[in-house]
Amino acid sequence: MSADERLKERQRAMWASGDFPRVSRETVAELGPQLVEACGVSAGQRVLDVAAGTGNAAIPAAELGADVVAGDLTPELFDAGRTEAAARGVELSWTEADAEALPFADGEFDVVMSCMGAMFAPDHQAVADELVRVCRPGGTIGMINAAPGGWLAAFFEVLGAYAPVPPQGRPPILWGDVAHLRELFGEEVDLGTPSALTLDIANFRAPEDLCAYYKAHFGPVIATYANVAGDPERIEALDRDLLDWAERMNRDQPAGRAVFRFEYLLVVARRADAQL
């Protein structure tokens, strides 16, 4: 098995651990419908959701009457997505798919989108090239990516100090930088005017509650604790650093509930009418 294959196996296992469907549903659920609306998805369009997870964006697109494919490297997440789609009375296709090598034809989709998903693939250029390749000329490429310098960037800085040494590659958070996107896509797409937005997450009474929730349910945190298992000092240090992060990110409100502000970039791009 190549180093790249081993990396993707680790990623798949990480996202399959814990309860990602619950975390997505209870923290960032509104981002998927927002991306679908921004992309102007409509009935009859052929739509691909890349790194779709449980279908946070794919299912709302299907509700509009689009012909939707949800693709993800971690098909273990699809059962939760199928259950949710059935409950909402819609049908869509679920396909195991690597964002760096999508198993679809050139120009197959009217809309290609990714909501906090494709950004985690290690080869940024390969992902950008694939998003362009499978989008028809004149079609739409939409993304929501975490912003550099925000709460998710700080979160992964904490985890990075305790995780296994990562392979060479650019950090996921760069997908939230417009200059990086222009470097990746070049003249293949018109990026328009990306929007820097925020989402306040107020589901937790205190920073300690957020830490406990992530330790119990969120794959990246579960995997990081597994990496330091058996080392009490490292576990204690990780506990301390994770809580420090949550306390720094808390925008405590008068009502006494913790509020965590997630900063992200919304991009709605148009693929050039012809290959350049």
How far does the chain reach from its first CA to its final CA, in angstroms? 36
Does pLDDT of 165 surpass 80? no
pLDDT of 168 above 60: no
Distance, in Å, from the CA atom of 262 to the CA atom of 264, rounded to the nearest integer, reads 7
User: Beta strand 67-72 with 93-96: parallel, antiparallel or unpaired?
Assistant: parallel
Phi, psi of 234 (to 5 degrees): -70, -40
Q: Are 22 and 217 within 8 A, CB to CB?
A: yes
Reported as a pLDDT band with limits 50, 70 and 90, residue 254 is low
**pTM of this prediction exceeds 0.75:** yes
**Interatomic CA distance for residues 61 and 170, integer angstroms:** 30
For 1, other C-beta atoms within 10 Å of its C-beta total 8
pLDDT at 5: 73
Alpha-carbon gap, residue 184 to 178, rounded angstroms:
10
Calpha distance 56→240 (Å, rounded) = 32
What domains does the chain contain, in order, with CATH numbers? Answer: 3-148+166-199+262-271 (3.40.50.150)
**pLDDT in the model for residue 253:** 61
Phi–psi pair at 101, nearest 5 degrees = -155, 70
Cβ burial of 3 (10 Å; 0-12, 13-18, 19+) is exposed
Q: What is the pLDDT of residues 194-212, one digit of tens each?
A: 999 999 999 899 999 999 9
- pLDDT averaged over every residue in the chain: 92
Tokens (6 digits) for 259: 């509020």
Q: Is the pLDDT of residue 257 over 90?
A: no
Query: Mean pLDDT, to the nearest integer, of 17-33?
Result: 93
Phi, psi of 13 (to 5 degrees): -65, -40
Computed on alpha carbons and rounded to an integer, the radius of gyration of the chain in Å comes to: 19
Note the pLDDT of residue 169.
64
For residue 61, pLDDT beyond 90: yes
